Each structure stands twice: as structure tokens, then as C-alpha cells.
């Protein structure tokens, strides 16, 4: 099993690739948290691999809808009932939802204990499990309550992906394409040449490594998103507005990001940093994974206002992340109302 390391001012930790064969050894108690779907599939597989003085389990409900304080509360109660202490560790077994919730619970339990990420979706393996962003949703929006709390280790085992529905797999590929477009032109070309699938394990592992290396480089330079890390939100400003307008849950997050990338590419073409043929190539690559690439805006005015809900908005200016050709990125916050509306107009027809 090989690994790469994330080093931030607060912590250095490994991301291990490959089968979870060696025992996961802990000196203190361990609380394994999963959801009803992943727990049923993989708890029996995971538990014999853990060596600890005591192992307890907490199962939360499945879905974004349960990324709430109530789920955090359930985890904390289990931790207190089993007398976890500051030497204990929480393990997140699941997709990005479980990982974000458990990271948050571990970050606030007794002012912060270790947690380990064992991501089971492609999206969580390439993105969500790495970099220490944790949190929950509330009525005001997604991921608005949370903290940076880096895991003690991350274990990427493609074995888990064999049961992942095709739509969830494609949503993870959208995040891989996002990283290639923003940071790595040769990786984009590689993705263009290789079609990823669960059957072709070698190319899947290469893609996992490629995407994770990009995320590692970015997080090591800018742990708390003071600058560069915001580039990982390429496609997300429009993506979040799409999720809001279409009703949360209608599209998977990766699907909304796919359409969001196509929308922001239209702005980038207007700005002159992306050519039409580059935008078409990105769109074609997304389509080759059956990802949606055209969203029909229902209410242009409301959609425009949703763009401001983005965490990158400052002083009432939306900071757009634009591909600067393929493989580079730039931030731009000077588009006029008319320029943005003009692009939105292109997405109002079917
Ligand atoms: P998810 O966690 O909801 O998982 C998707 C579905 O797949 C769920 O129903 C889950 O139970 C199921 N599932 C998980 N693993 C499976 C497996 N191996 N086999 C079969 N089914 C499986 O969604 P996700 O796409 O993994 O993550 C989305 C979440 O991640 C969002 O809440 C988003 O905000 C968050 N996120 C966080 C970061 C970060 O940096 N922290 C980055 C990107 C996304
Ligand atoms: N997924 C965006 C980030 O980790 O910053």
C-alpha cells in the first residue's frame, strides 16, 4: 500500500491507497460512524480490521437531509455513553455526508479528538475526505456551520466503489474533471484518452491518484481557503444556484457542479480566458460520463440572486472562478449585472 502526505500548519497525515489489509491500530477507544446504507454493506468488512481496546458503533440516517445538528448530537451522545475520552478516535465510514458530519463531531467532542476518514464514494475519495473541511447544513444553506479539522489519516480503497450506483460514480468523476480543468492540463488530456469505469481498476487508480495529488498540493498551500483553495469551487457558484432552484436532492451535487462548470465556462469565454473549443471539449468530456451539461433556468432574476449566497461573495461582489485555458484558473469579480444576465439568458431556453 502506498501513500501521499498532507502537511498543514496544524497536522501532517497520510492518505493511504489500496486494500485496507493491514490492521488499523488504535491505543484508545474507537467509535465507528456510518449510515444505514453503507453500514449494512461494509461494517462487517471493516470491524475485523480494527484493533482497539473498545469499538463502539453509531449509525445515522442516510442522506444529505440528515446532515444536521441532530445527527451530530446522536454521535456525541454515543461517544459520551461509551465514555470516549481525548485519546479516542472516531472513524467515518461512508460518503461525503458521513465524513463531513463525523469530522465536525470529532472536532467539537471535548474540544477535538482524532478522526479517520474511510470514504466509500468516488466523490468522497477524491475530494470530501481530504483537507479537513467538516460541517453540517441548516435552514440558511449547505455547509454553513462547521470547522476545519484535519483527519488523522485517510484510507482510499477502491473496493468500496464496486457497489456505488452509476449515477453516484459519475458525480465523483465531475469533481475529478473539475480538478483537471483548474490545475492540470496533462491530467485533462489523460482523462480525455481514458474512460474511467469501475471495471478498469488501473485507470481508476491513476485517476484517483491524479485528483488526490492536486487536492494535496492545494490544501498544503492554503489549508483555510484564504486564496488558492477557492479554485476547487470551480462550477460550484452556479452549481449551488442550480441545486437551490431545482430543489435540493433533485440533482446530485456532482451533477449540479457539471452544469455549473458549463455555465461559468460561458462567462470565461466572454472574458476571453477560455476559447469556445476548449469549453466544448470540457462539455464533451462531462457528457461522456452521462453527466448533465445543460440546465434550463426557471427564473433568471431569482437565479441571479442565488449566486450571491456563495461563501466566496464579499462586499456584494461574486467572485467567479474561471478556467484560464485548460489547466489554469483565475478569480474575477468585476462582471457587470448585464454581463452575467446575458450569460444566464443563454440558459433560459431548452
Ligand atoms: P453521500 O455521502 O450522500 O453518498 C451518496 C450515496 O451513496 C448515499 O446514499 C450513500 O449512503 C451511498 N453510498 C456511499 N458509499 C456507498 C457504496 N460504497 N456503495 C453503495 N452506496 C454507497 O454523497 P457524496 O457524494 O459522497 O458526498 C456529498 C457530500 O460531500 C455533500 O454533503 C457535500 O457538501 C460534501 N462535500 C464535502 C467536501 C469537503 O471538502 N468536506 C467536498 C465535496 C463535497
Ligand atoms: N471541495 C472543496 C475544498 O475542499 O476546498
Domains and CATH numbers, the chain: 2-163 (3.40.50.1970), 166-345 (1.20.1090.10)
Best residue among 97, 103, 160, 233 to mutate for probing ligand 1's pocket (most ligand atoms within 8 Å of CB) is: 97
List, for residues 323-339, the tens digit of each pLDDT value.
999 999 999 999 999 99
Q: Rounded to the nearest whole angstrom, what is the distance from the C-alpha of residue 94 to the centroid of ligand 1?
A: 7
Q: Confirm whether 224 is a catalytic residue.
A: no
Q: Confirm whether 334 is a catalytic residue.
A: no
Asked whether 127 lines ligand 1 (CB < 6 A), one says yes
Q: Rounded to the nearest whole angstrom, what is the distance from the C-alpha of residue 231 to the centroid of ligand 2?
A: 9
Q: Which ligand is nearest to the CA of 146?
A: 1
Q: How confident is the model at residue 138 (pLDDT cuts 50, 70, 90)?
A: confident
Spatial neighbors of 114 by CB under 8 A, at least 6 apart, are 88, 89, 90, 106, 151, 152
pTM of the model: 0.96
Q: Rounded to the nearest whole angstrom, what is the distance from the C-alpha of residue 71 to the centroid of ligand 1?
A: 15
Q: Confirm whether 236 is a catalytic residue.
A: yes
Which cell numbers in the block locate residue 25?
A: 491500530
Asked whether 229 lines ligand 2 (CB < 6 A), one says yes
List, for residues 200-219, the tens digit of each pLDDT value.
888 999 999 999 999 999 99
List, for residues 232-270, the tens digit of each pLDDT value.
999 999 999 999 899 888 999 999 999 999 999 999 999
Alpha-carbon torsion 308, 251, 105, 220, what sign?
A: negative
Asked whether 127 lines ligand 2 (CB < 6 A), one says yes
CA dist., res. 284 & res. 296, Å (int): 18
Asked whether 164 lines ligand 1 (CB < 6 A), one says yes
Q: Rounded to the nearest whole angstrom, what is the distance from the C-alpha of residue 334 to the centroid of ligand 1?
A: 34
pLDDT value at residue 41: 98
**Section 170-179 average pLDDT:** 97
Asked if residue 212 lies in contact with residue 15, where contact means CB atoms within 8 angstroms, the answer is yes
Asked whether 151 lines ligand 1 (CB < 6 A), one says no
What is the chain's Cα-based Rg? 20
**Section 129-153 average pLDDT:** 93
CA dist., res. 168 & res. 266, Å (int): 26
Select from 11, 2, 3 the least CA-distant residue to 219: 11
Which one of 194, 229, 271, 294 is the catalytic residue? Answer: 229
Amino acid at each position: 500500500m502506498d501513500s501521499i502526505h498532507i502537511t498543514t500548519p496544524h497536522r501532517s497525515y497520510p492518505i493511504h491507497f489500496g486494500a485496507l489489509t493491514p490492521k488499523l491500530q488504535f491505543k484508545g477507544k474507537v467509535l465507528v460512524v456510518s449510515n444505514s446504507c453503507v453500514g449494512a454493506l461494509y461494517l462487517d468488512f471493516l470491524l475485523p480490521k480494527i484493533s482497539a481496546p473498545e469499538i463502539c458503533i453509531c449509525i445515522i440516517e442516510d442522506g444529505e437531509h440528515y446532515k444536521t445538528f441532530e445527527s451530530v448530537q446522536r454521535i456525541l451522545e454515543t461517544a459520551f455513553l461509551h465514555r470516549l475520552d481525548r485519546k479516542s478516535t472516531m472513524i467515518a465510514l461512508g460518503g461525503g455526508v458521513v465524513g463531513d458530519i463525523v469530522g465536525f463531531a470529532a472536532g467539537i467532542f471535548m474540544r477535538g479528538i482524532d478522526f479517520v476518514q474511510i470514504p466509500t464514494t468516488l466523490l468522497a475519495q477524491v475530494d470530501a475526505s481530504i483537507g479537513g473541511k467538516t460541517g453540517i447544513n441548516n435552514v440558511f444553506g449547505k455547509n454553513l456551520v462547521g470547522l476545519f479539522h484535519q483527519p488523522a489519516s485517510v484510507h482510499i480503497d477502491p473496493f468500496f466503489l464496486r457497489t456505488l450506483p452509476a449515477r453516484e460514480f459519475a458525480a465523483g468523476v465531475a469533481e475529478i474533471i473539475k480538478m483537471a480543468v483548474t490545475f492540470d492540463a496533462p491530467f485533462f488530456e489523460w482523462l480525455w484518452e481514458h474512460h474511467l469505469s469501475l471495471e478498469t481498476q488501473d485507470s481508476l487508480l491513476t485517476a484517483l491518484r491524479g485528483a488526490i495529488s492536486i487536492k494535496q498540493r492545494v490544501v498544503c498551500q492554503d489549508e483555510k481557503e484564504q486564496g488558492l483553495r477557492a479554485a476547487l469551487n470551480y462550477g460550484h457558484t452556479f452549481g449551488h444556484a442550480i441545486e437551490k432552484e431545482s430543489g435540493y436532492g433533485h440533482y446530485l451535487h456532482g451533477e449540479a457542479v457539471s452544469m455549473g462548470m458549463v455555465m461559468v465556462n460561458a462567462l470565461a469565454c466572454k472574458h476571453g480566458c477560455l476559447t469556445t473549443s476548449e469549453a466544448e471539449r470540457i462539455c464533451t468530456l462531462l457528457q461522456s460520463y452521462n453527466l448533465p451539461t445543460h440546465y434550463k433556468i426557471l427564473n433568471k432574476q431569482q437565479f441571479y440572486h442565488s449566486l450571491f449566497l456563495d461563501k466566496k461573495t464579499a462586499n456584494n461582489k461574486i467572485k467567479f472562478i474561471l478556467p484560464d485555458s485548460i489547466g489554469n484558473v483565475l478569480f474575477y469579480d468585476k462582471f457587470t449585472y448585464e454581463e452575467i444576465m446575458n450569460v444566464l439568458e443563454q440558459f433560459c431556453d431548452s
